Structure 1
């Protein structure tokens, strides 16, 4: 198979394709390191909660190392989750234009090799998790059940994005677990707001595959909402802002955190206005812009923790 044919259809021209050793490329593609946007979206709720919990604790001394550990853990566990997803979805991926070039359906990696790679990534995540307190370790392990069942949800429910939200938002709880050794109401509200955010942005992402999904019988909120997607996004993105705002209000944050939330809300509004669900390339660009939205909120939270509070 030529190297061009081996590339994943929606991730051509990245560093994996051009600089990584040839033998490593199928594994890096399994881990989605050619498309790190998902790792960022998994990481950002971790960073939000770490910054907010540190501000509440009035102690930012450990914040840099916590942020660094979350960075490594998010990339490792997102890679493990995507590898698991590709193992379970290998037959479906072979039927979808955008995903048939993934390493397993394309024949670049066998299922046994993928499983071994999954274990290696999970072990990296475990090493990161063991740096935290016992409560945080238990909380982190508890998320694995949601990760395990997520790939099967698209076969049985129109709302697989809710399950993805439960998994991808878990970091909103982990920051509180790590910093405070408990999860209070602000953490739960932040988690709920993040879930609403994930449902919104993954609906946008799912519109890329809507036609293929309908043909092979895969369910999604993109198919469920259809032409009403913009209205649904208004609902879910509004919920995200309201719930996150409630978490901030309960935490007694300063002006910088509110500026961050306002910038986050404006960005979400821009996404809704910009989106055309009939343009898959635009859907992907709008989806990817959620990293910037999440970083705007994080910037406000971390500045509030570092400057306003201290």
Structure 2
């Protein structure tokens, strides 16, 4: 009995719509959250307190991951809410939900997974006001 072969083409076929839903293929938005707010704030604090690089670099990478998590959740929420509008706009009609590549139910499940990843990440690395602020950012406004 042979097992089915999983190749990179079939994996990309199933994962690509979710990558697009989270806008992971378009990092500009995450960088726009990361650089002016998180990276600049950390850099200024590190400069002022003479924070050693061994603490600065890991924190910078954590902040980058946080920016990606927050933005990807926001993009998924936006696409779920705007799915009917996106189908009527030429720029957005090929997105995963309006094009039918994934269902609303699948997108909602993906959003729950994104939220869980975000919560676990933030609880692991933050505490106090920083944790509450990060969790607050996950809530769609």
1:26 maps to 2:20: no
1:104 corresponds to which of 76, 92, 97: 97
Give the TM-score, by structure 2 length. 0.83
1:124 corresponds to which of 108, 117, 126: 117
- Structure 2 stretches lacking a partner, 5+ long: 1-8
- Distance across 1 between alignment mates of 2:98 and 2:49: 48
Is 1:73–1:124's contact at 8 Å kept on the other side of the alignment?
Answer: no
Q: CA deviation at 1:77?
A: 1.9
Tell me the equivalent position of 1:142: 136
Is 1:91–1:105's contact at 8 Å kept on the other side of the alignment?
Answer: yes
Query: Structure 1 or 2: larger helix share?
Result: 1
What's the secondary structure of 2:114's corresponding residue? helix
Tell me the equivalent position of 1:55: 47
- Distance across 2 between alignment mates of 1:87 and 1:93: 10
Aligned length: 130
Tell me the equivalent position of 2:80: 87
Tell me the equivalent position of 1:42: 33
Give the TM-score, by structure 1 length. 0.40
Q: CA deviation at 1:62?
A: 1.6
Q: CA deviation at 1:117?
A: 0.8
- Distance across 1 between alignment mates of 2:138 and 2:48: 28
- Distance across 2 between alignment mates of 1:137 and 1:89: 29
Higher relative contact order, chain-length normalized (CA < 8 Å, sep 6+): 2
Q: CA deviation at 1:93?
A: 0.6
Q: CA deviation at 1:128?
A: 2.4
Tell me the equivalent position of 2:4: none
Structure having the higher Rg: 1
Moved more, 57-66 or 20-29: 57-66
- Distance across 1 between alignment mates of 2:136 and 2:24: 25
- Distance across 1 between alignment mates of 2:44 and 2:34: 14
Is 1:80–1:119's contact at 8 Å kept on the other side of the alignment?
Answer: no
- Distance across 2 between alignment mates of 1:123 and 1:86: 19
Per-residue CA deviations over 1:44-101 (Å, capped at 9, x if unaligned) read: 1211111112222232342111111112221122111100000001111111110011
